[in-house]
Amino acid sequence: MSQTPSRADFDQVMVPNYAPADYIPVRGEGSRLWDQEGREYVDLAGGIAVSALGHAHPKLVAALTEQAGKLWHLSNTLTNEPALRLARKLVDATFAERVFFCNSGAEANEAAFKLARKWAIDTGGADKYEIISATNSFHGRSFFTVTVGGQPKYSDGFGPRPGGITHIAYNDIEALRAAISDKTAAVVIEPVQGEGGVLPASREYLEAARALCDQHKALLVFDEVQTGVGRCGTFFAYETFGVVPDILTSAKSLGGGFPIGAMLTTAAIAKHFGVGTHGSTYGGNPLACAVAEAVVDTVNTPETLAGIRAKHDRLVTRLESIGRETGAFALVRGLGLLVGAVLAEPYKGRAKDFMVAAAKEGVMVLQAGPDVVRFAPSLVIPDADLDEGLARFERAVRAVAGR
Ligand SMILES: *Cc1c(COP(=O)(O)O)cnc(C)c1O
């Protein structure tokens, strides 16, 4: 019999690219988690905007276990029913007509950026391959996606980067107008920058990006890995802004904790990914698709989406009041249940301190860069759990701020 693993084991056996907290959760139910010592936490982090229906949601457990007893894996030489059902639902619910499945956000974006370049070169010639992205954006950690991401610290140190990628300031229409040309294959935008600090796009910016892409025959790609599947109060955030992309990527909440990613696009663009141009061993596997179908069925209802918007108001109102009383926050921003408390000047750079203090009080929150405390709870978190989590968070803020 081996001993129960502990946090100390991490440093003995794991590659040191993460610095996990000193407690290890072992069980979850809804928006509560318990660690090895039996301490309870309210989960306002949602596994970084992934656990869309909390932990061990009965519908997801049922979908997973039912599929687990039937069929786990085939391969892409065969198709399967859960993948076809899920794709049909995503097509019916969005602008898209075609879906490509993979296993993560980075893979969904890798597919999107490759497809955009393939489409551009096929339709506009060999010089039409440039990708315009935003500073501070985040699109995943494969070498292509991390280079499209606008945080050089993540792509530094690995030798020559993939080329043809430029970065402009987010929400800057004039910068986009100056950067875009007939050589542009795609403009890539997060409707709300998640990792970059929970910073929403302006409607005018997205509208201008749409118009400029049309003018220069470039594709508009929305990375909705963090903002999609109800997170922002509509099924995808592009609906909130009323601007339709050509390619959309999804992951995170889509699987509710089971790894899956998806790239959505139109039939006319999809046809440039002909047989053999791209692929994934596990993409579209029956287990992942069965779980994601249950997520979509549960999230994409008028009741759940209205609930998300109501919980947004509840969360923001309380955070604003905590901010007023402690002076810790400069402002609270975000959409739906993706909300950031931007730290006031004296607390800049200390988001991690708030996160650690919160865990001490029994509530999990996230940071989004050094200056923003981020909240991405379950989309169906009961109001009582939200209130309890925020009461604990208020104690943590008072402990850090000393008032
Ligand atoms: C998390 C995230 C990704 C990367 O997803 P992975 O599943 O970690 O590869 C890409 N884009 C955005 C906007 C994200 O928030």
**CB contact at 8 A, 101 and 280:** yes
Taking the C-alpha atoms of residue 320 and residue 341, their distance in angstroms, rounded to an integer, is 8
Determine whether 348 is an active site residue. Answer: no
Expressed in angstroms and rounded, the spacing between residue 199 Cα and the centre of ligand 1 is: 15
% of residues, the chain, pLDDT over 90: 99
For residue 200 the two structure tokens come to 């929403």
What's the mean per-residue pLDDT of the chain? 97
Q: Which residue has the tokens 């457990």?
A: 61
Substitution candidate for ligand 1 out of 138, 253, 282 with most atoms within 8 A of CB: 138
Q: What is the pLDDT of residues 8-67, one digit of tens each?
A: 999 999 999 999 999 999 999 999 999 999 999 999 999 999 999 999 999 999 999 999
pLDDT in tens, 84-138: 999 999 999 999 999 999 999 999 999 999 999 999 999 999 999 999 999 999 9
Residue of 195, 225, 232 with the most ligand 1 atoms within 8 Å of its CB, for mutation? 225
pLDDT in tens, 237-286: 999 999 999 999 999 999 999 999 999 999 999 999 999 999 999 999 99
Give CATH 3.90.1150.10 domain extents, the chain: 7-56+302-401
223 flagged as catalytic = yes
Is residue 128 classed exposed, middle or buried when 0-12, 13-18 and 19+ CB atoms within 10 A define those classes? buried
| pTM, rounded to two decimals | 0.98
Residues of the chain with CATH 3.40.640.10: 71-299
Q: What's the CATH class of domain 7-56+302-401?
A: alpha beta
Ligand 1, CB cutoff 6 Å, lining residues: 104-106, 109, 138-140, 190, 194-195, 223, 225-226, 251-252
Topology (CATH level 3) of domain 71-299: Aspartate Aminotransferase; domain 2 (3.40.640)
Is 138 a known active-site residue?
yes
Please state whether 389 falls in left (phi above 0), alpha (psi between -120 and 50) or beta.
Answer: alpha
